[in-house]
Amino acid sequence: MTKPISIRPQPMVVTHGGSSSDPDTERDGCEAGARAGLRALQGADALAAVVAAVSVLEADGRYNAGRGALLGMDGKTISCDASVMDSRGKLGAVANLLEVMHPVQVARRVADTPHHLIVGEGALQFAKKIGLHHTFEATQKAIDQYKEEVQAIERAPDQSSSDAQDTDSDDGKAAIKRFWNFSGSWQEARDRSGHCTVGAVARDADGHFAAAVSTGGSMPALLGRVADSPLIGCGFYAGRAGAIACTGIGEHILRHNLALRIYLWIEGGMALREAMERGVELLPEGVEIGLIGITRDEAEVVARKPMAHALAGGLAR
């Protein structure tokens, strides 16, 4: 009796530059990240590939991650979140990590510790311990975005705690002044006068999967804000059926445990694109959202508006 032929999966890497990225002017950075991830697959696994891919995006400066991270609303704080996960049990994340060019590499090293998530001062000291703490200046793009946001917040109506309405109505701008928790006053920050996440998913020749995300946070946001990117099952998930990475407004993504929910649909047999489109539909109309995903036989990109992304490797569909 003839034995069935076992076909090895085609190695592949998918990257994105964030739900607000420009597919016309920023796709080349995503392509460079995907190629770096594919090169890593030649001698390593899917986890190494997504770290390599996201590291390229963090170093680029055009995306809200690593060197291109947004300024905090005080006009000086740069705080990043990142995470990695693979289908063989590796999981690591950092949140509110200051002054690190490659937070995804720190998250990867967290995956080698007894922990899965390290935050704030602990994350900073961990990065210093492993030699990944490198200060850097904000990009001009981040400075310009900060100035625009300060002006928008300045125009937002003041609200008292007793008459405050749902902050979704003004993107939380009035709440920033009302709940200001940075050192120094709002006026000092004003006088110095987005959101997005980069990500990658990969499949290696042994059929293992991995996901990685990295973000410079959201604007406007209070000091210490954490959303979906470092939270397992929210902004990312990887398992034996595939890997998912999300980008967009993190508060909406984490409410739905979006990455895990989509993963469970594909694990149950739903086609990847159908599961991702169904996931997008969970979020209110008009909420920015983008997804990349990969399974043994599929790779897909689904977003409410065009975003920079790239695929490198075997057949995409």
Catalytic machinery residues: 197
User: Within its chain, how far is the Cα of 241 from the centroid?
Assistant: 21
Task: Spell out the alpha helix ranges (H) of 242-306.
Answer: 250-255, 258-267, 272-282
Q: What is the β-pairing status of strands 242-248 and 309-313?
A: unpaired
Pairing between β-strand 209-215 and β-strand 79-86 as defined by DSSP bridges: antiparallel
Q: How far apart are CA 201 and CA 253, in angstroms?
A: 18
The conformation of residue 66, written as its DSSP 8-state character, comes to G
Contact 257, 233 (CB under 8 A): yes
Token digits of residue 233: 């099952």
Would you tell me how many other CB atoms lie within 10 Å of the CB of residue 294? 30
What contacts 60, CB < 8 A, 6 or more positions away? 29, 32, 33, 66, 67, 68
- Whole-angstrom CA distances from 224 to 5, 98, 134, 218, 248 are 53, 11, 20, 11, 19
Distance from C-alpha of 194 to C-alpha of 182, rounded to nearest angstrom: 19
